[in-house]
A and B are shown apart, each in its own frame.
Chain A
């Protein structure tokens, strides 16, 4: 689904449209924005560590140019200005944040970042699935906060495709392709039924 088609009734300036179009990558079919590969980059995405193209927006006040990651409160209060500004938008959601008040707008974001404030706080796993399966979000879904290697496969399966990783051993394992994982799954996740008689159960790593 093209980001620009998310809400055809919303006013879209020419500059905004041009900016968004420039951000859409070539062949992935999914709107998104990937930073340049860099071994010291904070974001693990598409098989590499990368720089983060997004600036974190302050709670209020001036925004610099370029892709910006806004917290939900700012999105709700400054929605019109943010849309008019143009440029790729990212939404940051704290753990446990409700989605109902942003549900209609998920298509406007090329990035949604979900926080894991503690290793043990698993709310974002459900939020991720709702974003993907209930609201049809197709942009980058990034796990931020406490991200450890033993969770990354779970995160992928519920729909995350990018990970902000600061834990050094996790970064090493990712870089070396050495995540010890269980690559057989007892349960499908996702909205699409899988072929075969055992559709509710048991798949190998895709």
Chain B
């Protein structure tokens, strides 16, 4: 993974010193809240329902064991003993004191971490396939490009006051685990027609109040041109994105309003002017960064998995939670942070430390964070799976439910978030407990829950999506079906009238029951069945015949 050199380390140090100064000026009253708010947002500091919240960047979801240990330490020392992994591969602490945050940032800098641009109207964390560098499916590891884009976009003088936040996602596989079509810019790394490496470029995806899937505006962009092309996109957006209405300020609105073709033409015109300038990537630079992401020293022939007692729950866990690795003898292991009835995405300090230890012993000290609020040990020898499983059982994170109906994605919701209209966590907990006994029978089914229209739970691309709203001061929930964030991207459709907190749990079970009754067999997953059947049978089951 990327290691800071002197420049990177000094950059973060100066940034922390700058923010420390800004915090002190705020506490002294030399900055009003109006003046301070955009500055603190640029350092990932929110004011939430109960307290400040600090969002720490985990670039493209890659963490070292050492970094994970530091996060555990920070959780214990400055917060309340736990952290929350988010749908953008970041980590949130819910209770930091503003006066402590400069110290927290100093400690993060010690392990090459920061909270720069995890909020604010700038380029946010560049997210990537959480199996990058381990899966056989990818053309090459996309993370070097994510790192290059991350550096280039850090404190960019032209693009630090965009109309709105800007999210870039990148994948290098046909099967899109990074949900690039839901991003402002989605990048697919691929082999070009001339044999070189390059990108297909999508723009204008985004969820929130008005969701859109991204449109492809370029099919063959050579890798050397990626920064200049992104700069052209951002410049057109910065100049023409709406500034009058916060709900219409994302690039998706601009593209939908002028059309993707017109937008692409503007981008191409600007790009033509700058493409051969300072932003052209020298191959040596790409190689230099890629060198940080070289594969670890895999054992050419790891010892075979030894004898162990037959254990059906272990077998279920291996079947469900491990994924084929590009290196024979190895597997990619998903640790779902979704214990049955638990809080999606939360991990205690002790759990983080245990996972760090597992990574050190069994995964070349590397961990990943997925946008589905799970963790990944990317390089585990098959012979070590048993030991990993035993330890995960000890810390309560061995549920064999990756991708199943209990692997629920939920934003923090009204329990934490000042923007929320309804709680999402208790809904997730109750659905999980209700459906756990049948989760294997139900199979692959992604439930995504958002506590408000900002859609941080990504409910628009859930096979079952739930949106919490406020109705006459009380919590109320809309149900959506048929969404997907993968390469078969689709926006979920609302079923009809909403439900009470009790009602929505029943409604989800009704949907599941209907699916089980009407599917052609266990081999027909929920999304396929929904595509075949359409919404009608589900609506009838939910609301009765019209």
Report if A30 contacts B (CB, 8 A). Answer: no
Residue of B nearest to A119 (CB): B38
A63-95 interface mask toward B, CB cutoff 8 Å, 1 = contact, 0 = none? 000000000000000000000000000000001
User: CB-nearest residue of chain B relative to A191?
Assistant: B277
**Is B31 within 8 A of A122, CB to CB?**
no
Contact A153 B157 (CB under 8 A): yes
Q: Which residues of A contact B243 (CB under 8 A)?
A: 95-96, 118, 121, 123
**Cα-based distance from A126 to B162 in the complex (angstroms):** 10
Secondary structure of the B contact surface, majority rule: helix
In Å, the complex CA distance between A95 and B148 comes to 30
Measured CA separation A202–B35 after assembly (Å)? 29
Query: With an 8 A cutoff between CB atoms, is B471 at the interface?
Result: no
Contact A122 B152 (CB under 8 A): no
- A154 x B157 contact (CB < 8 A): yes
A201 contacts across to B, CB distance below 8 A = 148, 151-152, 285
Please determine whether B14 and A122 come into contact, CB atoms closer than 8 angstroms: no
Q: Nearest chain-B residue to A128 (Cβ)?
A: B158
Complex contact B15–A182 (CB within 8 A): yes
A122–B15 CB distance below 8 A? no
Instruction: Tell whether, in the assembled complex, residue B157 and residue A157 are in contact, meaning their CB atoms are under 8 Å apart.
Output: yes
Report if A125-B121 is in contact (Cβ < 8 Å); known contacts: A182-B11, A197-B285, A201-B285: no
Check A169 for interface membership: any CB of B closer than 8 A.
Answer: yes
The reply on B239 being an interface residue by CB < 8 A is: yes
Cβ-based interface call for A42 (8 A): no
In this complex, what residue of B is CB-closest to A154?
Answer: B157
With A180-B22, A182-B15, A199-B282 already in contact, the answer to whether A189 and B31 are too (CB < 8 A) is no
The answer to the question of B18 belonging to the interface, with a C-beta cut-off of 8 Å to chain A, is: yes
The answer to whether B235 and A180 touch across the interface, beta carbons within 8 angstroms, is: no
A94-113 contacts to B, CB under 8 A, are: 95-96
* B278 adjacent to A184 (CB under 8 Å): no
Q: Which residues of the other chain, B, contact A96 by a CB distance below 8 angstroms?
A: 239-240, 243
Q: Within 8 Å CB of B162, what residues of A?
A: 122
| Identity of the chain A residue whose Cβ is nearest the Cβ of B28 in the assembled complex | A169
B interface residue count range (under 10 / 10 to 19 / 20 to 34 / 35 or more): 35 or more
B478 at the A interface (CB under 8 A): no
In the complex, the chain A residue whose C-beta lies closest to that of B156 is: A187
B110 touches A (CB below 8 Å): no
Q: Which residues of A contact B281 (CB under 8 A)?
A: 200
Name the B residues within 8 Å of A187 (CB-CB). 151-154, 156, 279
Q: How far is the CB of B236 from chain A (nearest CB, A)?
A: 9
Contact of A121 among B11, B18, B148, B161 (CB under 8 A): B161
B155 on interface, CB distance cutoff 8 Å: yes
Q: Contacting A197 at CB < 8 Å: which of B17, B152, B239, B282?
A: B282
A interface footprint on B215-246 (CB within 8 Å = 1, 0 otherwise): 00000000000010000000100111001000
A151 to B277, CA, bound (A): 25
For A150, what are the chain B residues with a Cβ–Cβ distance below 8 Å?
A: 18, 22, 39
B122-176 residues with Cβ-Cβ distance < 8 A to A are 148, 151-162
Q: Interface majority SS on A: helix, strand, loop or mixed?
A: loop
Question: B157 — which chain A residues lie within 8 A by C-beta?
Answer: 125, 153-155, 157-158, 185, 189
**Closest Cβ neighbor of A204 among chain B residues:** B7
Contact yes or no, B227 A200, CB < 8 A: yes
> Is B21's CB within 8 Å of the partner chain A?
yes
* In the complex, chain B residues 231-285 whose Cβ is within 8 Å of any chain A Cβ: 235, 238-240, 243, 273, 277-282, 284-285
Choice from B7, B39, B159, B273 contacting A202 with Cβ under 8 Å: B7
Chain B contacts with A in 279-296, Cβ cutoff 8 A? 279-282, 284-285
The chain A residue sitting closest to B242, CB to CB, is A96
> Which residues 31-90 of A have a CB within 8 angstroms of B?
none
| CB-nearest residue of chain B to A160 | B157
In the complex, the answer to whether A169 meets B30 with C-beta atoms within 8 Å is yes
A155 to B280, CA, bound (A): 24
Instruction: Please determine whether B10 and A158 come into contact, CB atoms closer than 8 angstroms.
Output: no
- Does A184 contact B7, Cβ atoms closer than 8 Å? yes
**Chain A residues whose C-beta falls within 8 Å of the C-beta of B39 in the assembled complex:** 150
Query: Does the CB pair B278–A154 fall under 8 Å?
Result: no
Asked if A126 contacts B158 (CB within 8 A), the reply is yes
Give the residues in chain B near A158, CB-CB below 8 Å: 157-158
The answer to whether A183 and B14 touch across the interface, beta carbons within 8 angstroms, is yes
Q: Is the CB of B284 within 8 A of A197?
A: yes
The docked-state distance in angstroms from the alpha carbon of A186 to that of B117 is 14
Q: Which residues of B contact A123 (CB under 8 A)?
A: 238-239, 243
Write out, one digit per residue, whether chain A residues 171-206 have a CB within 8 A of any chain B CB (1) or not (0): 000000000111111111111111001111110000
B240 — which chain A residues lie within 8 A by C-beta? 96
A residues less than 8 Å from B438 (CB atoms): none
Query: Is B25 an interface position by the 8 A CB rule?
Result: yes
Decide: B152 and A200 in contact? CB cutoff 8 A: yes
CB contacts (< 8 Å) of B31 on chain A: these are 169
Among B19-71, those with CB < 8 Å from A are 21-22, 25, 30-31, 35, 38-39
* Given A169-B25, A188-B279, A126 and B152 contact (CB-CB distance below 8 Å): no
User: Which residues on B sit within 8 Å (CB–CB) of A142?
Assistant: none
Asked if B282 contacts A200 (CB within 8 A), the reply is: yes
The smallest beta-carbon distance between A184 and chain B, in angstroms, is 5
Residues of B contacting A119 in the complex (Cβ-Cβ under 8 angstroms): 35, 38, 161
Can you offer 27 A-B residue contacts whose CB atoms are under 8 A? A95-B243, A96-B240, A118-B243, A119-B35, A120-B38, A120-B161, A122-B159, A123-B238, A125-B159, A125-B160, A126-B158, A126-B235, A129-B158, A129-B235, A154-B157, A180-B17, A181-B18, A182-B14, A182-B18, A187-B153, A187-B154, A189-B158, A190-B278, A193-B278, A194-B278, A201-B152, A201-B285
Q: Which residues in B have some Cβ–Cβ distance to A below 8 Å?
A: 7, 10-11, 14-15, 17-18, 21-22, 25, 30-31, 35, 38-39, 121, 148, 151-162, 227, 235, 238-240, 243, 273, 277-282, 284-285
**Additional 19 contacts, C-beta under 8 A, given A184-B14, A186-B152, A198-B285:** A122-B158, A123-B238, A123-B243, A125-B238, A126-B235, A169-B30, A169-B31, A180-B17, A180-B18, A181-B14, A182-B11, A182-B14, A182-B18, A187-B151, A187-B153, A187-B156, A200-B285, A201-B285, A202-B151
